[in-house]
Structure 1
Amino acid sequence: MLKTSTIVLGRTLNGRYRVLEPISAGAMGAVYRALDARTNSEVALKHATHPGGDQRFEVEARLLASLRHPRVVRTLDYFSDSSGHYLVMELVPGSDLDKVLKAHGQPGLPVAQSVDYARQACEALQYVHEQQIVHRDVKPQNMILAGEGIVLVDFGIARVLEEQEPLGTAGIGTPRFMAPEVFAGGRVSPRADVYGIAATLWTLIAGEPPVYAGGKSLSSISPDVTPELERTISAGLELIPERRVASVAAFAKALGAPLAVEKGTSLAISIDVPDASRSLMEAVVHTASGVFGAAAASIALIDETTGELVY
């Protein structure tokens, strides 16, 4: 059952979009199927809770509307009214990878198929990062398997690089897919999305998301995982940002031939060695990851529909 929303079904917003039914809900808003009266076509309407204010929403929505990539959902329109901020996006036909995974059964999808989906998602993320945007909520539910492959959707908590984090947005995301530095309120960079795509790939193969700083090895869950692939995913899941794979391009490159044990791309050139001054941040991130893992186990802190933290 979806989280209760204040939007009345059948209501027309902005004189144009008639709300038909809920699609999903989370800590930062809800997504509805709506009918565009001007085009007589269905769209996805996101009612966003946006603590940054009207001006910030305007800037970010305009930037999202400029994105043009076959693996990135198109933002068609945006507006605000007394009830909040809204993003109008194309309605992508298909199933999200979480549903695909659940339909397949345990432990998870075939390794080659999972890697292919991750590569396609990296294409979308690389383009998004080139536009100075970090998605921040990369997970199977936000990847739609459409006719031409994976499409990245739901930019409801995306951030423009170099912007200061709005008060109240630290820690918003999905447990075990959100990079620890995001939870800790640190600077958000494309490496946060690297963590998300690595956690997504782990989930597609294992059938469940990885555990922060511990848990089983992926190869113990799926024997088809090669040592090279396991090292690649582990490098993407590094808790300390500077130790993590530097970009989705580097991560995708390392996935280029992951099923051949004797082949693979070294990740050494894409991983920065943290300065000694980062030791404090390392301690903070490790502590935060422990708290985050504990929070993820607390039903009271988790939205039962989406799996998101709801403080």
Structure 2
Amino acid sequence: MKLSKSGGTTRPPFRPDLFTVEAYKAGKLVELKPLGSGSFGSVMMVEDRTTGSRCALKRIDMRQLSQRKRAQALAEADMMRQLVHPCICGFYGSFIDADIVHIGMELCSGGTIDSWIESRRGASLPSEVILDCFLQVAAGLRHVHRRKVLHRDIKASNIFLSRRKAPPAGLEMNESE
């Protein structure tokens, strides 16, 4: 999930040529820095060497997964391809290289709701901000559930903030954050 103020989306166009084993091995994506890791894999910020645009590249190492978890990892890429909504991180493409699934996704460089709340050091949130956040999460979940997809891990550390669009009122962030 992701939160942003505008209801529309201005995602960069899908570039299937960028998310192939050949393009990856040719260095068309430049790794910039790690963004985090979770139960299924790790995420890196990468840059398109040609255009300079950035995205997140999630890596899932299949070698250490059970057959059931492997199937779930492959299903994740297929599911992301189908979930196009302003409140859901955009999918750009995926490929498998040496038993590692790579999933190119929209970069939500504003961090997570969890990290943003932590950075507030106990300062309260206006009720309008809480309502705006809730409505965006609910809209994203509604979209997911209408497509018969269950998301079993909804939590503040899995809800990302986009800097490309203005965050909900009161969620303004400085570049230093």
CA distance in 2 between counterparts of 1:43 and 1:116 reads 25
The structure, 1 or 2, with the larger RCO (C-alpha pairs under 8 Å, 6+ apart) is 2
- Could you say what the CA RMSD is over the residues aligned between the two structures, in angstroms? 2.6
Provide the residue aligned with 2:158 in structure 1.
142
CA distance in 2 between counterparts of 1:14 and 1:73 reads 25
- Counterpart of 1:72, as a letter, is I
Provide, for residues 200-227 of structure 1, a one-character-per-residue CA deviation record: whole Å limited to 9, x for no partner.
xxxxxxxxxxxxxxxxxxxxxxxxxxxx
Distance change (3 Å), C-alpha of 1:66 and 1:105: same
- Counterpart of 2:103, as a letter, is L
- Counterpart of 2:153, as a letter, is D
Provide, for residues 258-304 of structure 1, a one-character-per-residue CA deviation record: whole Å limited to 9, x for no partner.
xxxxxxxxxxxxxxxxxxxxxxxxxxxxxxxxxxxxxxxxxxxxxxx
Provide, for residues 89-139 of structure 1, a one-character-per-residue CA deviation record: whole Å limited to 9, x for no partner.
011242321222122222643344223211211101100111121222212
Distance change (3 Å), C-alpha of 1:35 and 1:101: same
Provide the residue aligned with 1:89 in structure 2.
105
CA distance in 2 between counterparts of 1:85 and 1:142 reads 20
Taking structure 2 as the reference length, the TM-score comes to 0.66
Matching of residues 38-117 of structure 1 within 5 Å: 39-49=51-61, 51=65, 52=68, 57-106=73-122, 108-117=124-133
Higher strand share: 2
Distance change (3 Å), C-alpha of 1:20 and 1:83: farther
Gaps of 5+ in 2: 1-22, 169-177
Provide the residue aligned with 1:13 in structure 2.
24
* Higher alpha-carbon Rg: 1
Give the 3-state SS of the residue equivalent to 1:61 in structure 2: helix
Q: Assess if the C-alpha contact under 8 Å between 2:43 and 2:59 holds in 1.
A: yes
Distance change (3 Å), C-alpha of 1:142 and 1:53: closer
CA distance in 2 between counterparts of 1:127 and 1:97 reads 20
Higher helix share: 1
CA distance in 2 between counterparts of 1:108 and 1:22 reads 30
Distance change (3 Å), C-alpha of 1:47 and 1:20: same
